[in-house]
Amino acid sequence: MCIKMNALLKWLVLPGLLFSPVAVWALYKPVRVLAPQWVPGITCVTKDICLEDVTRYKQAERIYNESLAFVEANVAAVEHPPRVIFCSTENCFQSFGFNKSAAQTVGVYGMVISPRGWSQAYLRHEMIHHIQAEHLGVYKQWRSPEWFSEGMAYALSDDPRPKLAEPFQRYREKFQLWYQATGKDRLWEEAGKL
């Protein structure tokens, strides 16, 4: 899943003129991804790995490293490895403003993993959203069609599910056809034209 950046921009830029940063922090929870160390109950063990239950650091670190290596080897270079916040409870996930999904990425600023999302497949999926934002820019990624942004994340993360819930199955198939015709070398150039 990829948060709609217009909502973020609307809440960050426009009310920022009217409200204090404290109000933005309180009202628009995904902005907390920018400074998770300020969120009660979250510990950042490294600059890139923050978590709720520090006893699970080794598990988080393994999933993080394996997912990053997979994406770099199979999809594209990662310019700045993303910050990942690993939640062990739904309360933690909800404190960033999320609930239904297994994980959420906020532009190039970081991602939050729910208790249901501790797996390489989910991390790889979110890291693909991260590199989309890096290569296309946050605005262009937000403007790109969903069949591309989600289809690419499902297809190139090697999601093990043979059949996804719609519309994601359709998005994955559409992306795969487009990618076969486009090729890895022209991926970002052509994606920028969508």
Residues in 148-167 at the binding interface with Zn ion, rule: CB under 5 A = 150, 153
Q: Order across the sheet with 110-113: list the strands.
A: 43-44, 49-51, 84-86, 110-113, 103-106
Contact flag: residue 1 with Zn ion (CB under 5 A)? yes
Of 187, 172, 64, nearest to 134 by C-alpha is 187
Query: Which CB atom, from 95 or from 141, has the smaller least distance to Zn ion?
Result: 141
Size of the residue set binding Zn ion (CB under 5 A): 3
Q: Are 101 and 111 in contact (CB under 8 A)?
A: no
CB of residue 68 to Zn ion, shortest distance in Å: 17
Query: Which CB atom, from 45 or from 194, has the smaller least distance to Zn ion?
Result: 194
- Please tell me the number of Cα atoms within 13 Å of 172 on its side-chain side: 18
Binding mask of the shown chain, residues 107 to 146, with x at each position contacting Zn ion by CB under 5 A: ----------------------------------------
Q: Which residue has the tokens 């262009």?
A: 140
The angle that helices 57-74 and 120-136 make with each other, rounded to 10 degrees, is: 50
CB of residue 125 to Zn ion, shortest distance in Å: 6
Judged by the rule CB under 5 A, the positions of this chain that interact with Zn ion are 1, 150, 153
